[in-house]
Structure 1
């Protein structure tokens, strides 16, 4: 079968299309003929070497894949044969014509939801749902969503008012992505490519404050935003660090104004994300969560897809399509 092999950590060019042996399902596993493979921002970080890679290279790369279950391993539910699913792969094996995963890593795609949409919404939605639940919105809050034009931020922007936000202020990179954030439900949008955007936010708020920040940027920006959080109740939920470093927020910073910071990471958090996958697809099937699709590229162009993401040239999810898959 064709697959994309990561030769080593480094630039996008380390992702190379090759012929490899077909995987076979072992006990408790299923085999999926892939149709749509989402290219995810965290994959670019792992490929680049920003985080330690979990196994020796070369290896077939990829976090997720969607398609049809064609083989069932011993002990896996035989009813899954023929089902359309989106599967998580723990970072290995997803960029391939066939993907083998433990059955519990697969989420069945509801009838009426197309496979590309399921692949595009799964990661963003399944992270956004536990973030919104953790925020405990009551119907009165003003929230700030960073990187709101795609991925987790795009899902948060779409769902925030459904979960109780009264006003959604968003950030996005440039005019095109700003327009997308407004289409997704943001009441106001700031351009986070402007290094002074936190000051622009303060000016836009006037005498008002932000109740909840969904922090995807981290770094020093997180600290600058503490000044606009509502005293004695404002909360920041940190789930990413697009700046390259975690939020630079100390206990002393928070105590001074009675604020809270919640780090949304670690095994327990990932368990909540996994538990939200089925609900994410249900929301997508009803139209409550819309896909943010950027483009569909051949599987062999995985390196080009990574390059586009790193250049911030996309406003949505890129899907890789195996050569023989039906779109």
Structure 2
């Protein structure tokens, strides 16, 4: 079968199309014929070496895939054969015509949802729903969503008011993404390509503060926002670091202000995200969460897909299709 193999650490060029044996399911596994494969931002960081690799290359690449179950291993219900599901490979093997994954990761795809749409919301929607559940919004909060035009930020912007936000302030990079954030439901937008944007936020609020920050940028920006967060009840949910580093905030920064920082990462967090996948797919199927797709590319254009993600210009997900 055709698969995309990560041949080493580097740029998109390390992703190479190769013929490899079709996977066979072990005990507790299943195999799907892939129909749609989301290209995820963390995958670009694995290729570049910014994130540690759990195995040495060369290795078939990719985290998630959507398709139809063709085979199951021991201890897996044979009734799954023929069903459309989304799966998580736990790190490798999803950029392929056939994908083996733990059966426990399989989430049924609603009939009303296409495979590309399911792939587009699988990660972003489930992370957004988990963040909103963690934030415990009550209907009165002003929230700040960073990088709100794409990925998790776009899903948060769509879902925030349905989940208790009173007002949504969004950051995005450049005019096209600012317009996209407004289209998705933001009340105010700020261009975060301007290094002074935290100060602009404080000036635009004329003394008012932000109750909840969904922080995907991290780095020193998080520190610059502290005085814009509501004392005593404000909270920051840190789930990404597009700046290249986690939020650089210490207890000494938080305690005098009486605000909280919640780290949204690690195995326990990821287990909660996995539990949110059925809800994300269901909301996409009913139109509550609209999938945002920028490009659907053939599988052998995986390197091109990574180049597009690295450019940070697409206004939606990039999906690979094996057929």
Match of 2:311 in 1: 311
Post-superposition Cα deviations, 1:225-263, rounded to whole Å, max 9, x if no partner, equal: 001000111110000000000101010111111111010
Match of 1:106 in 2: 106
Match of 1:180 in 2: 180
Poorly superposed stretches of 4+, deviation over 4 Å: none
Match of 2:244 in 1: 244
> Are 1:224 and 2:227 an aligned pair?
no
Q: Secondary structure at the match of 2:46?
A: helix
Quote the offset at 1:111 in angstroms. Answer: 1.3
Post-superposition Cα deviations, 1:100-130, rounded to whole Å, max 9, x if no partner, equal: 1111111110111111100000100111111
Match of 2:58 in 1: 58
Match of 1:2 in 2: 2
> Are 1:298 and 2:298 an aligned pair?
yes
Paired with 1:200 and 1:309, the residues of 2 have a C-alpha distance of: 28
Match of 1:79 in 2: 79
Quote the offset at 1:292 in angstroms. Answer: 0.8
> Are 1:134 and 2:134 an aligned pair?
yes
Unaligned runs of 5+ in 1: none
Paired with 1:91 and 1:282, the residues of 2 have a C-alpha distance of: 24
Match of 1:97 in 2: 97
Paired with 1:70 and 1:13, the residues of 2 have a C-alpha distance of: 31
Q: Secondary structure at the match of 1:253?
A: helix
Match of 1:46 in 2: 46
Kindly indicate whether the alpha-carbon contact (under 8 Å) linking 2:88 and 2:102 is maintained by their aligned counterparts in 1.
no
Quote the offset at 1:49 in angstroms. Answer: 0.3
Unaligned runs of 5+ in 2: none
> Are 1:189 and 2:189 an aligned pair?
yes
Match of 1:153 in 2: 153
Paired with 2:286 and 2:39, the residues of 1 have a C-alpha distance of: 24
Quote the offset at 1:175 in angstroms. Answer: 0.8
> What is the aligned-residue RMSD (CA, Å)?
0.8
Post-superposition Cα deviations, 1:70-115, rounded to whole Å, max 9, x if no partner, equal: 1121211112111111111111000000001111111110111111
Quote the offset at 1:195 in angstroms. Answer: 1.0
Post-superposition Cα deviations, 1:190-249, rounded to whole Å, max 9, x if no partner, equal: 111111111111111112110000000000000000010001111100000000001010
Quote the offset at 1:311 in angstroms. Answer: 1.0
Post-superposition Cα deviations, 1:145-183, rounded to whole Å, max 9, x if no partner, equal: 001111111111111111100000001111111111111
